[in-house]
Structure 1
Amino acid sequence: MQIETIVYIILALLVSLGVGFFQYFFRVKTTPKITIVLFFLKVLSIFLILLLLINPKIELTTTNDVKPSLAVLVDNSSSTKFFKEEQFVNSFIQEVDGNKALNEKFDVGFYAFGENVAQLDSLNFSDQKTNITKAVKSVNELQKDKEGTLVLLSDGNQTLGEDYEFLKSKKSIHSLVLGDTIQYQDIKISQLNVNKYSYLNNKFPVEAFINYEGRKSVSAVFSIFKSRRKIFSKKIELSPNKKSATITAELDSDKEGVHYYSATVSKLEGEKNIRNNSKNFTIEVIDEQSKVLVLSSILHPDLGVFKKSIESNKQRKVEIAQINAFKGSLEDYQFVIFYQPNAYFRSFLQDRKSNFLIVTGTKTDWNFLNSLGYDFNKAAISQSENYRPVYNMNFLTYLQDDIGFDGFPPLRDKFGSIAVKGNSDLLFQQLKGINTTNPLLSTFESGGNKFAVLFGEGIWKWRAASFIKENSFEVFDEFLGNLVQYLNSNKKRRRLDVKLDNLYLANEKIAVSALYLDKNYRFDSRASLEIVVKNEETKAQKVYPFSLINNSYKVSIEGLDSGDYTYRVSVLGQNVFKSGKFKVADFQIEQQFSNANYKKLGVLAKNTNGALFYKDQKEDLVKSLLENEKFFTIQKLEKKEQDLINWKWILFIVVLLLATEWFTRKFFGKI
């Protein structure tokens, strides 16, 4: 308490005594005993009133008992159901929840995890992916201020995320193994490497990795089927000393379009799990390859990124050339990227009207670019500046989602204002934290001619940032591929654009996006879209309406059985539609394992100072938790400051004192 407050309290006490003395003892000859009582009532009531007005802060100390936490993480993926462990899991949860001794010692919490983790409400064992690492990290973060331990109920088979085997955890982890721990012999296709595209009248490679677990030598046959017709077959020999084999097949691309294939390896005698013996894949056969030229006057990391990213689509081939050394003709290329052009580009740029991308930067000659008469102009100075990307939600030229542009590093370009016309901006510039309407990435379209301009160098940083975020280059490559596809196409712009893949796995969510434009090629938010999905074998069909989300229509389709499907997206009341087909493969990754991975669970437990337990040792697990002296209740002293005015009972005492004084004076005739 501050000295100033103490002085005020002393003054309040003196004032209270002075008021009481003046009222009951000043110039009074006799002082009966009742006067002394009234004096103390008056002094106390006045003092409490003044004390409330001073309102000193009172420090309160409370003692709290803090139990150690016991987090029970339950594997809610379909593999638990596959191993038929639902009854055991539910029984164990009930036993822990009803164990009085455990609940007295620990603050018990239950969590269910699959792809994500959440507090346990109910278990359905339907998650199609398992991320043990994320579950452990999430609970550790949630309880970072608490001492305690974790109990992990899982088969140890992770299908998503970082490897959990050597995961660091502040809390010890006790692993309780679900599933069969007996090692059955099992053969599986662990991986298929196939390009998405091939060219007509050509061959494409299929690389298959076969893995075997078992104690004796076996033979099997690897086959590839198309429309239930075997088109490739090879016999393989495996043993405990040779547990893997790599097979490469060369298949013909004899017909344009999307083709579906199935790769299988024959079943072994006594093999328990045969769901991992087959995988499906698709190939899109195209008639010709698109050649792309990257023309530059300087060396820059962006050039390599354009090549790698564009060539991720195998129907495109990229060549990089220096402007002074290029002797070819632009007519040999369907698409050209002019990187930081200067006066040496004049003969290539002055007559080119379509199918190109201009990338500017610190080495760009803006006087030259401005003289070409394109639909953009920049009043640039020699000073350069950093420009961060801002996604334009109203971009309607083609379907492009926000891939996290606001988290990408800035591009660098010469400073200056940009004037454009006839453009559509996918990205705007953010300068020093301020969003502007200056374009960072613009497309231009006039009279059937299309081109685009990226106002900044350093796009290689975007690809790296996208990889860090997504753990894959696929999202960024798709973004750049969409731009190239739009600029490379000379077809008339479509009013309905649908985004849907050719192959999905069973129980996987099928996300469909659609962009619909009116006759003036402006986004129409008033339309109603629906997709009709039809199973080609059963002829059963389902209708799903789209929902309007931002500037596109979206729908999520679930629960489709495996098979071949056709689809038709229609705009109700309009003769505008798009149709196609896709396949749902009978593949459930959670059912690709024949036994529990108890070895990894054991390593995790050992590295975190925990222990490994099997189903028949659940009583030992509970006993170990109860007898572990590292976990005990802690008493914590908590100090809080509270304003005295919040103590409402003091005001009640003041009223009671004043009322008592008044009635006493009335009773003894002092009033």
Structure 2
Amino acid sequence: MQSMPFQIDIPRDWIIEAEVWQLVTLLVMAGAIAFGLYGWNAAIQQRSTGRGLPGWLRWAMGLMRFIALGIIGFLLIEPLIRSTEYNEEKPIAILLVDESASILSRTEHSTADTINAWSKAIMEDLIDRGLDVERYGFASHLRPIVSVDSAFRWDGSQTNLNEAIRTLNPRIENRNVAGIVLASDGLINRGASPVYGVQWPNLPVWAVGLGDTSAVRDRWINSVNHNAVAYLGNAFPVQAFIESQGMEGRAGQLEVVHNGNVIARKSWKTVSNSERTKIELMLNAESTGLQKYLLRIAVTNGEYDISNNQRTLYIDVLESRRVIACIGAAAHPDLGAIRMALESMESYQVKAFDIASLRNPNDLTDALNEADLVIAHNLLGKRWGGMEWSKLLAMNNLPIWWLAADESTWNALQDYNELGVQMSVSSDLIQTHQTRLNPSFASLEWPEGLAEAIRKWPPILGPFEQMTWSPAWSTLANRQFGDVETNDAFWGLRGSSSGSKQILSIGEGFWRWRMRNFAESQSHELFDIFIQRQVQFLAAEDLRKRLVVQTEKRVGADQRMTFSGQAFDAAWTPMRDANIELKLTDEEDQVFTRTMLPATRGFVADFGRMPAGTYEWEASSTLDGTSFDTNGLVIVEDTQIERTHAAAHLDILDQVAQNTGGSFLGYWKDTKITAAGDAIEASGIPSVIRHENTQLREAIDWRFFLILALTLLTIEWIVRRRNLGY
């Protein structure tokens, strides 16, 4: 049956909330108007123009006017049209492929094309079975492969299956997923154990083995543990983990080279065919500055690969640590969260004191004399030794982070104080609020994702008051109530131009931030960096420069080397049109140059992934006719995680498959293309899910009504003008 060339989709489900009398009134009014125009004097006389109307046309004209007015009146009572749409969701199969470099470390280059063709054949087989297929690659993170023409690539520098599954889970939650086909070599070197630590979705996993399952004779440095910072005259520990494969009964030797001299040596003998040996050394820090140490294993006869026999590490040797005096009126979880965030900063020493339980006041006095900065929790308005804490710390001109987290400190801010911050006095109420980082705050650089994450972290408990900050303060964070953003600052920072550098945060409860950060990402990194950057600001020497360029001091070989910078004019206003040239020089005096590009905050430059080694960088710019420059050092560390020749660990894949209700299908070369599809069919392919979507829209959105009313009125007007005139 052929479809009609013109069809009208008439809504069948109407919602009319008008009363019956309202509908009757509309119809009566429309009829009265139509009858008044065309119902009197059935033999209408010819007017000044036109030829008059016959009876039948007069009634037709009246009917058109009645229908048009009825439609308009009907739309005025705002009826609704309910429509229902049905969408079908086919079952989905997830194809998750390990893209780490170890997959192809001992194979020919053409193997990559072969595995891609194999994975494409699996995808086509699953599609033929009525499944939609989503492809993902993973190494250090999950990589969605959207385009059909895109291929897997095996260049990942680490294998973190835990991170991949953590990212995949929200993507497939509440969807019609049949299961996961996992292809990997089982050599997981980052994140939680795939057997015990990974939070797998409630889906079966069918595993396929990749990589090389044969064992070769080789020995390599798997990892090295060491401190990034050491102190002059002290000994610091170094732990090297040596993997030996096919070396049973053979001796090994590890040497440490510094400035061309062997400063340590240790030997051992491999007992089993596959063995991990831990070598512990104590090295002496004999000179300050960045020191380079080379760890190398003596080459063994018949070794498969000697390029992974050495590892370079860099130690920053300082004269002494900077001391942070962390003082609280009483024990508080916020203070504990700060202390834990500072533990990873090896160049700082935290000395913590609880005034309420302090036994020896001399210990606190000595710490204040040694301190480079002070973190003062709930000390505003309080005294110690007969003197207010604000005056006591001001005598030493120390940078201070004030944490005002109880009513006594809030009362101190309501009175006159030397901080230049005044709190209003209206009630004793308290409130909770979210945190919004000030987007225009330029004194500190935050890591990517912090601003978004901190909005979702648990609320802060603070006073129900307004804060007035003197111009010396810069707003670091504002209050936010639900989706309502405010400019009410509760966290501020003051530079040294107005005295010693200070930070003031008002409220308590950001210990929960650290817990939430870990719950979301299994890491405290964002919270710790948020605290550490503020402490580094307080401790840094205040050398104000018109050209400021920053980068991470250490990056991995698998990470991009990026720089951020700012330029200021003579009035210390950020410049947007500065031309900043950046030069990067490696150990072989090879020079790489970039021009820093304008960004949201200042300027940025990206050198991409650089080979392992030490790089010197220098930035220069001409500002208002004057040349400025700054320089520094950045270390690219080669972790060599994937440069091993261990045999594929397929037993792990078997355990994962068994634990999730799937099965291990075998090594990819020995597995049929149809094996994954057969396994999914055997477990039962989910049925197609039909989703019902109901929408309500106003009747005026259905254009047919308006078009009909306008058409009728137009025809009536033309006929009336032609035959009756005016």
**Alignment TM class, shorter chain as reference:** 0.7 to 0.9
| Equivalent in 459, 462, 466 of residue 513 of structure 2 | 462
SS in 1 for 2:536: helix
CA deviations on 1:545-601 (whole Å, 9 max, x unpaired) are 223332232222224334432211223555222112233344443333522121111
2:377 maps to what in 1?
Answer: 339
Number of corresponding residues: 607
TM-score calculated relative to the size of structure 1: 0.78
- Deviation of the 1:394 alpha carbon: 1.7
2:400 maps to what in 1?
Answer: 356
2:581 maps to what in 1?
Answer: 530
2:234 maps to what in 1?
Answer: 202
SS in 1 for 2:419: coil
- Deviation of the 1:141 alpha carbon: 5.7
Q: How does 1:83-232 map to 2 (within 5 A)?
A: 83-84=106-107, 85-96=111-122, 103-114=128-139, 115-119=141-145, 121-133=150-162, 135=164, 142=171, 145-146=175-176, 148-165=178-195, 168-214=200-246, 216-232=248-264
* Range with greater deviation from structure 2 (55-64 or 546-555): 55-64
CA deviations on 1:71-95 (whole Å, 9 max, x unpaired) are 4333333333324331320331354
- Deviation of the 1:367 alpha carbon: 4.8
CA distance 1:619–1:128, change in 2 (3 Å): same
| Residue pair 1:441, 1:455 contacting (<8 A) in 2 also | no
- Deviation of the 1:340 alpha carbon: 0.9
| Equivalent in 407, 411, 436 of residue 456 of structure 2 | 407
Task: Tell me whether 1:549 sits opposite 2:599 in the alignment.
Answer: yes
CA distance 1:560–1:316, change in 2 (3 Å): closer
SS in 2 for 1:235: strand
**Counterpart code for 2:335:** L
| Equivalent in 549, 554, 568 of residue 498 of structure 1 | 549
- Deviation of the 1:298 alpha carbon: 1.8
SS in 2 for 1:364: helix
| Residue pair 2:129, 2:677 contacting (<8 A) in 1 also | no
Q: How does 1:278-293 map to 2 (within 5 A)?
A: 278-293=310-325
Q: How does 1:368-379 map to 2 (within 5 A)?
A: 368=412, 370-379=415-424
**Distance (Å, rounded) in 2 between the aligned partners of 1:138 and 1:562:** 29
| Equivalent in 595, 601, 605 of residue 647 of structure 2 | 595
1:40 maps to what in 2?
Answer: none
CA distance 1:521–1:310, change in 2 (3 Å): farther
CA distance 1:583–1:299, change in 2 (3 Å): closer
CA distance 1:155–1:358, change in 2 (3 Å): same
| Residue pair 2:223, 2:639 contacting (<8 A) in 1 also | no
- Deviation of the 1:133 alpha carbon: 4.5
CA distance 1:136–1:310, change in 2 (3 Å): closer
**Distance (Å, rounded) in 2 between the aligned partners of 1:343 and 1:635:** 68
**Distance (Å, rounded) in 2 between the aligned partners of 1:647 and 1:134:** 51
CA deviations on 1:432-458 (whole Å, 9 max, x unpaired) are 655233232332433553222122233
| Residue pair 2:292, 2:313 contacting (<8 A) in 1 also | yes
2:58 maps to what in 1?
Answer: none
| Equivalent in 540, 545, 566 of residue 515 of structure 1 | 566
Q: Where do 5+ consecutive residues of structure 1 fail to align?
A: 9-45, 652-671
| Residue pair 2:223, 2:240 contacting (<8 A) in 1 also | yes
**Distance (Å, rounded) in 1 between the aligned partners of 2:190 and 2:604:** 26
**Distance (Å, rounded) in 1 between the aligned partners of 2:241 and 2:522:** 23
- Deviation of the 1:179 alpha carbon: 1.5
1:393 maps to what in 2?
Answer: 439
CA distance 1:251–1:627, change in 2 (3 Å): closer
**Distance (Å, rounded) in 2 between the aligned partners of 1:348 and 1:623:** 70
**Distance (Å, rounded) in 2 between the aligned partners of 1:619 and 1:543:** 51
| Residue pair 1:275, 1:587 contacting (<8 A) in 2 also | no
1:613 maps to what in 2?
Answer: 666
SS in 1 for 2:569: coil
- Deviation of the 1:535 alpha carbon: 2.2
- Deviation of the 1:474 alpha carbon: 4.1
**Counterpart code for 1:157:** L
Task: Tell me whether 1:576 sits opposite 2:605 in the alignment.
Answer: no
- Deviation of the 1:207 alpha carbon: 2.6
1:561 maps to what in 2?
Answer: 611
- Deviation of the 1:148 alpha carbon: 3.0
CA deviations on 1:454-496 (whole Å, 9 max, x unpaired) are 2223343333333334433344333323322322344332333
CA distance 1:185–1:242, change in 2 (3 Å): closer
- Deviation of the 1:237 alpha carbon: 2.7
* Range with greater deviation from structure 2 (446-455 or 633-642): 633-642
**Distance (Å, rounded) in 1 between the aligned partners of 2:208 and 2:315:** 43
Q: Where do 5+ consecutive residues of structure 2 fail to align?
A: 1-11, 21-63, 708-726
| Residue pair 2:138, 2:160 contacting (<8 A) in 1 also | yes
Instruction: Supply the RMSD in Å over aligned alpha carbons.
Output: 4.1
- Deviation of the 1:423 alpha carbon: 0.9
* Range with greater deviation from structure 2 (282-291 or 379-388): 379-388
| Residue pair 1:399, 1:497 contacting (<8 A) in 2 also | no
**Distance (Å, rounded) in 2 between the aligned partners of 1:640 and 1:382:** 49
CA distance 1:452–1:151, change in 2 (3 Å): closer
**Distance (Å, rounded) in 2 between the aligned partners of 1:443 and 1:304:** 24
* Range with greater deviation from structure 2 (261-270 or 619-628): 619-628
**Distance (Å, rounded) in 2 between the aligned partners of 1:56 and 1:394:** 46
TM-score calculated relative to the size of structure 2: 0.72
- Deviation of the 1:108 alpha carbon: 4.5
**Distance (Å, rounded) in 1 between the aligned partners of 2:85 and 2:407:** 68
| Residue pair 1:157, 1:593 contacting (<8 A) in 2 also | no
**Distance (Å, rounded) in 1 between the aligned partners of 2:479 and 2:689:** 52
- Deviation of the 1:185 alpha carbon: 4.9
**Counterpart code for 1:595:** A
**Counterpart code for 2:321:** Q
- Deviation of the 1:193 alpha carbon: 2.5
Identical aligned pairs, as a percentage?
20
SS in 2 for 1:457: coil
